[in-house]
Amino acid sequence: MVTPTASPKLSGDSVQSATVRLFSLPVIVAALGYFVDIYDLLLFGIVRVPSLKNMGLTTDQISTVGGRIMNWQMGGLLLGGILWGILGDKRGRLSVLFGSIITYSIANIACGFVKQVTFMDPVQYYALMRFVAGVGLAGELDAGITLVSEILPKEKRAIGTSFVAAIGVLGAVVAYFTVKLFDWETAFFVGGGLGFSLLLLRVGVVESGMFTNITEQKHINRGNFLSFFTNKDRLSRYLKCIGIGVPTWFITGILASFSNEFGKALGIGEEIQPGLAITCLYIGMAIGDLSNGFISQALKSRKKAIALFMAIAFTLSFVYLYLGIKSALVFYGLCLGLGFGNGYWAMFVTISAEQFGTNLRATAATTIPNMVRAFLIPMTLGYQALKPSLDVINAGAVVGLVSFILGFYAILTIPETHDRDLNYLEE
């Protein structure tokens, strides 16, 4: 890796210019893009129980089949992350944004017709469409964060990407209320419509200057996914970036998505609604993501800010599982707190982008978060496999402990990137 040179401090005029760029069209559109991305990504988790119940599945089937469909979506995210990441470095950040939006918008509209399907088993069709949606959703946020990271000065990157995430995670809140106001089928149609509306906003966004500059240098190898595995230091940074994000999807994909099972195991009288738990989680994440950017800026460290929030998430996960919560209101309040601790996702994606040079940045920033999302597959399988012998609470605890061990090791040992100039290449 070529070591970047330090940039000069901003003058008064430069600070004003940086503030203008912080709220420029690419940043605003990236925030709205993440909003639609989260709406569609979390929608199945919100409608899992009502949609599968409406299709005639039993309670046990809703747990197992719902987990299987979720794994298909996460598998699509893994494949799409590699696909869009490579294209982002070879064809440009914007090509990924357009292609991914079209893919997941069509898939979400198709999910709204699942009950009308007669040419194949509706459950298999549902899983297939969530897989296609996953492929599309893999490119939205991460290409947007890469673009924002490259157009903002390093003094504003943390705040800019946190602003994108804070606006974006509210998509889960809108998804929940869309389902409540209408029905789960309409919610899928709305998601597809939001995606196509987003395409119109993307038209005015320009490509990253850093990427444009390296396209003129034909000898530079761009978007080579295998290059992460041909250099020991690069592989170490890549794997540690993945490790940092794993605890976030333990909380989202296990504690929140299966919150109805945990609520029952805890003996809470009122039935816990996973959709409401996910909504509370993401309200907390909106606050957490925005706060994390300012904390990172104040501490002058990505690592310290993420480690602090990871510690909060770990502590509240223990409270969730073992402090014997009996009130649904307290349970949902705890989900809000877990969301705050989980609110380092934007900083995690930012640090993943900052760890690598311009010729591999989109590949890294797109594949890494989707590797993390795909990590939910073994977490879900592990959770389901351990439940019969350990019970729901302890099965969740084992999966969570492994996730947080990986997360803490990764954040404590990865290089700091707070002041890194991103205008460099991977050799």
141 pLDDT more than 70: no
Phi-psi region of 80 (alpha: psi -120 to 50; beta: other; left: phi over 0): alpha
C-alpha–C-alpha distance, residues 144 and 219, integer Å:
26
Residue 46 has a pLDDT of: 84
Q: How far lies 386's CA from each of 65, 72, 175, in Å?
A: 17, 21, 31
Output the pTM of the full model: 0.75
**Chain-wide mean pLDDT for the chain?**
82
What SS3 state is found at 150? helix
* Least confident window among 50-64, 388-402, 404-418: 50-64
Residue 202 has a pLDDT of: 63
Here the tokens at position 138 are 């893999």
Residue 247 has a pLDDT of: 96
Residue 423 has a pLDDT of: 64
What's the whole-number mean pLDDT along residues 296-300?
A: 87
Here the tokens at position 65 are 């089949």
What's the whole-number mean pLDDT along residues 343-347?
A: 86
What lies within 8 Å, CB to CB, of 105 at 6+ separation is 136, 191, 192, 193, 194, 195, 196
Could you give the residue ranges of the DSSP H alpha helices within 91-226? 93-111, 122-137, 140-151, 157-168, 170-181, 184-202, 209-215
252 pLDDT more than 80: yes
Count CB neighbours of 414 within 10 A. Answer: 21
* Least confident window among 12-21, 78-87, 146-155, 241-250: 12-21
What's the whole-number mean pLDDT along residues 408-416?
A: 95
316-330 pLDDT per residue, tens: 999 999 998 999 999
- CA 81 to mean position of chain CA atoms: 11
Burial zone of 418 (CB within 10 Å; 0-12 exposed, 13-18 middle, 19+ buried): buried
7-17 pLDDT per residue, tens: 334 344 444 44
3-state DSSP: the chain helix, strand, coil percent, rounded to 5? 80, 0, 20
Top pLDDT among 154 and 275 is at 275
Reported confidence tier of residue 89, pLDDT bands at 50, 70, 90 = low
Nearest CA-CA partner of 198 in 88, 35, 33, 43 = 33
C-alpha–C-alpha distance, residues 47 and 190, integer Å:
14
Reported confidence tier of residue 3, pLDDT bands at 50, 70, 90 = very low
101-140 pLDDT per residue, tens: 888 899 999 999 998 988 899 999 999 999 999 988 877 6
- CA 346 to mean position of chain CA atoms: 8
Answer yes or no: are the C-beta atoms of 99 and 115 closer than 8 Å.
no
- State percent of the chain over pLDDT 90: 35
Residue 330 has a pLDDT of: 94
Reported confidence tier of residue 204, pLDDT bands at 50, 70, 90 = low
5 pLDDT more than 70: no
Here the tokens at position 329 are 């209101």
19-30 pLDDT per residue, tens: 446 666 767 777
In the chain, where are the structural domains located?
A: 19-204+225-413
User: What kind of fold does domain 19-204+225-413 have according to CATH?
Assistant: Growth Hormone; Chain: A; (1.20.1250)
C-alpha–C-alpha distance, residues 21 and 372, integer Å:
30
Query: What are the φ/ψ torsions at residue 426 (nearest 5 degrees)?
Result: -85, 130
